Amino acid sequence: GPGVLTRTLLNAGVRVVALESNSAFLPKLQSLENSLDGQLQVIYGDFFRLDPLVTGTVKPPAVCSDKLFETMGVAAVPWKADVPVKIFGIFPQKKERNTLWRLLFILYECSSIYRYGRVELNVFISEKEYKVLTAKPGESRIYQALSVLWQAGCEIQLLHMEPWSSFVSNFQNRRLAVPRSTRLPNDHLCLVRLTPQQNLFTGGLKPTNSATCLTKPRSKLIDRLNSWSLDNADKLLKALEIPNNVETGNLYPEDYKRLFGALQNTNVFAESWFNDEILESIRNIN
C-alpha cells in the first residue's frame, strides 16, 4: 500500500519490521532503513504467504515463520505471557475470508505465528467481514462458525473505520476492488485488533483443530452432536447446562468453547472439525 501504517508506526517511535512483497519497492525502503539507525528492518516477504504448504525450499516472497521470527530476534513465550509481537497490515480483499479461516486454523493449533505466543493482529478488513466476526447469536443471516471461533479465541476491538474512498485515492492509479455486499453494510475498511485470549486453552480445550458446529444455524445442536455418534449427547449438554433444544445459531461463543473442551475429553470424538470446504481454502491460500 501507500505506507500509511509504516509511517505512523515509525513516527510513534516503535521498532518496525516491514515485510515488502514487491521487489520494486525494496530499494527505497532499504534506503529508509539505512537512515533510521536500527528503528526499521526491511524483509523481502509476504505475510499472506507465510508458511506455505509446499515441500522443498520456500521461495520469496513466501516466508517461513520460524526464519522470520529468528531474523526479528523474537523468541517464543508461554501462551499466558504478554503479547510478544504486534502485526499491522491490510488484508487482501480477494482472499479475505480464506485468510480469516487460515488464521483461525493456526490459532487453534498454536502453529505458525502462534507458536510464539499470543501474537496480536491489527488489520484492516472490510466492514462486511467485521460485521460477521462480531455477529451475535440469533442473527441467523450472519452469525456463523467464523463468528463463534473468532469471538471465543480473541478479544475483538474496532480501532478505526475509514471510507473506501480514502484507500482508492491513496492507491492512485492502482485499482482497489471494493467487495460488493447486499446483506451487510460495506462502506468502510475497519482497523480491527485481534488479541488471542489468555484463557483460550483452559477448561479442557487443547491446541487442536477447532469446531464448525454452526454450519446450519437453524438446526438443533443435539442433532449435530448425535450425527457424530455421541451416545451421551443429552447428558453432555445437561452437564454443561446447555438447553437440549437449543439451535446452533443461538448458542453463545463462550458456551461453544465449553462444549469444544468437553468434546475433546470424551475420548470418542474423532471428527475433523474443519469441514472439507474450509480445509481446501486453507490449502489454496498460498
Expressed in angstroms, the distance from the first to the final Cα of the chain is 20
Is 103:70 a contact under the CB 8 Å cutoff? no
The grid coordinates of residue 254 equal 463462550
CA distance 112 to 105: 10
How far apart are the C-alpha atoms of 25 and 19, rounded to whole Å?
11
Alpha-carbon torsion (127, 133, 135, 140), positive or negative: positive
137 backbone dihedrals φ, ψ, rounded to 5°? -55, 140
Q: Which residues make Cβ contacts (< 8 Å) with residue 67, sequence separation at least 6?
A: none
User: Is residue 164 a contact partner of residue 185, using CB atoms and an 8 Å limit?
Assistant: no
Enumerate the known binding-site residues for S-adenosyl-L-methionine: 1, 20, 46
User: Which residues fall in the annotated binding site?
Assistant: 1, 20, 46
